[in-house]
Structure 1
Amino acid sequence: MPMELETGKPTISPHLDDDSSNRTGTWVSASAHIITAVIGSGVLSLSWAIAQLGWIGGSIALVIFSVITWFTSALLADCCRDPVSGRRCSCYTDAVKSHLGGMNIKFCGIAQYVNLVGITIGYSITSAISMAAIKRSGCFHKNGHAAGCHVQNNMFIIIFGVIEIVLSQIPNFNELSWLSAVAAVMSFAYSCIGLSLSVAKVAGGAHSRTSLTGTTVGVDVTGWQKTWNCLEALGDIAFAYAFSTVLIEIQDTLKSSPPENESMKKATSVGVSVTTMFYISCGVVGYAAFGNNAPGNFLTGFGFYEPYWLIDIANLCIIIHLVGAYQVFCQPIFKQVEDWCLNRWPNNKLMKESRAIKLPLFGDYNFSTFRFVWRTGFVITTTVVAMVLPFFNGILGLLGAASFWPLTVYFPIQMHISRRNIRPFCWKWIWLNVLVAVCLIISVLAAAGSVAVIAKDLQTYKPFTSVS
Structure 2
Amino acid sequence: MKSHQAPADQNHAPNTVDRRTAKEKAIDDWLPITSSRNAKWWYSAFHNVTAMVGAGVLGLPYAMAELGWGPGVAIMVVSWIVTLYTLWQMVEMHEMVPGKRFDRYHELGQQAFGEKLGLWIVVPQQLLVEVSVNIIYMVTGGQSLKKFHDIVCPECKSIKQTYFIMIFASVHFVLSHLPNFNSISGVSLAAAVMSLSYSTIAWSASVHKGVQEDVQYGYKAKSTSGTVFNFFAALGEVAFAYAGHNVVLEIQATIPSTPEKPSKGPMWRGVLVAYIVVALCYFPVAFIGYWMFGNSVEDNILITLERPVWLIATANMFVVIHVIGSYQIYAMPVFDMIETVLVKKLKFTPSFMLRFITRNVYVAFTMFLGMTFPFFGALLSFFGGFVFAPTTYFLPCVIWLIIHKPRKYSLSWFTNWTCIVLGVILMVLAPIGGLRRIIIEANTYEFYS
Same fold (TM over 0.5): yes
Distance 1:29 1:9 in 2: 29
Amino acid across the alignment from 2:399: M
Superposed CA offset, 1:241-290 (max 9, x none): 10111011011011215421122222222212220222110111111221
TM-superposed deviation, 1:52: 1.2
Label 1:61 to 1:242 Cα distance change in 2 as closer, same or farther (>3 A).
same
What does residue range 352-367 of structure 1 map to in structure 2 within 5 Å?
352-353=350-351
Pair 162,421 (structure 1): closer, same or farther in 2 beyond 3 Å: same
The 5 A counterparts of 1:4-403 are: 23-81=37-95, 83=97, 86-101=99-114, 102-140=116-154, 151-202=159-210, 206-211=212-217, 214-215=218-219, 221-256=222-257, 258-299=261-302, 301=303, 303-346=304-347, 348=348, 351-353=349-351, 368-403=352-387
Query: What do residues 157-209 of structure 1 show as CA deviations (whole Å, max 9, x unaligned)?
Result: 1111111010000011121111110111111111111111011111xx63352
For the 8 Å contact 2:112–2:118, the answer to whether it is kept is no
Kindly indicate whether the alpha-carbon contact (under 8 Å) linking 1:89 and 1:248 is maintained by their aligned counterparts in 2: yes
- Once residues 275 and 384 of structure 2 are traced to their aligned partners in structure 1, the CA distance between those partners, rounded to angstroms, is 16
Query: Quick one: which of 446, 449, 458 aligns to 2:442?
Result: 458
Which consecutive unaligned segments of at least 5 residues does structure 2 have? 1-12, 18-28
Contact 2:250 2:333 in 1 (8 A): yes
Q: Which amino acid aligns with 1:194?
A: A
Q: Distance in 1 between matches of 2:328 and 2:88?
A: 24
2:82/2:419 contact within 8 Å kept: no
Compared CA separation, residues 157 and 255, structure 1 to 2 (3 A): same
Q: Secondary structure at the match of 1:352?
A: coil
Take 2:393 and 2:301, find their aligned partners in 1: how far apart are those partners?
29
Deviation of the 1:373 alpha carbon: 0.7
Residues 98 and 47 of structure 1: is their aligned pair in 2 closer, same or farther, counting only changes over 3 Å? same
Cα pair distance change 1:9/1:155, threshold 3 Å: farther
CA contact (8 A) 2:242 2:392 kept: no
Gaps (5+ residues) in structure 1? Answer: 1-7, 13-18, 144-148, 354-367
Letter in 1 for 2:421: A
Shift of 1:104: 3.4
Contact 1:210 1:288 in 2 (8 A): no
Contact 1:195–1:286 (Cα < 8 Å) also in 2? yes
Q: Structure 1 residues 225 and 22, CA, compared in 2 at 3 Å: closer, same or farther?
A: closer
- Tell me, yes or no, if the aligned pair for 1:169 and 1:375 is still in contact at 8 Å: yes
* Inter-partner Cα distance in structure 2 for 1:264 and 1:122: 27
Q: Deviations over 1:398-444 (max 9, x none)?
A: 12112333211332112212232224566643552243122211221
SS of equivalent residue, structure 1 residue 259: coil
Task: With the length of structure 2 as denominator, give the TM-score of the two structures.
Answer: 0.88
Percent identical residues: 30
What one-letter code is carried by the residue in structure 1 that aligns with 2:350? K
Deviations 1:101-142 (A, max 9, x none): 2523211100001110010000000111101101222355x6
- Counterpart CA distance in 1 for 2:133 and 2:64 is 22
CA distance in 2, matches of 1:312, 1:38: 23
Contact 1:130 1:318 in 2 (8 A): yes
Flag the 1:109–1:36 CA change in 2: closer, same or farther, 3 A: same
Whether the aligned pair in 2 keeps the contact of 1:108 and 1:406 (CA below 8 Å) is no
TM (normalized to structure 1)? 0.84
Q: Distance in 2 between matches of 1:309 and 1:22?
A: 41
Kept in 2, the 8 Å contact 1:38–1:240? The answer is: yes
How far is the alpha carbon of 1:344 from its aligned partner?
2.4
Letter of the 2:140 counterpart: T
TM-aligned CA deviation for residue 457 of structure 1: 1.2
- Contact kept in structure 2, 1:235 and 1:401, CA below 8 Å: yes
Instruction: Report the more deviating stretch, 156-165 or 409-418.
Output: 409-418
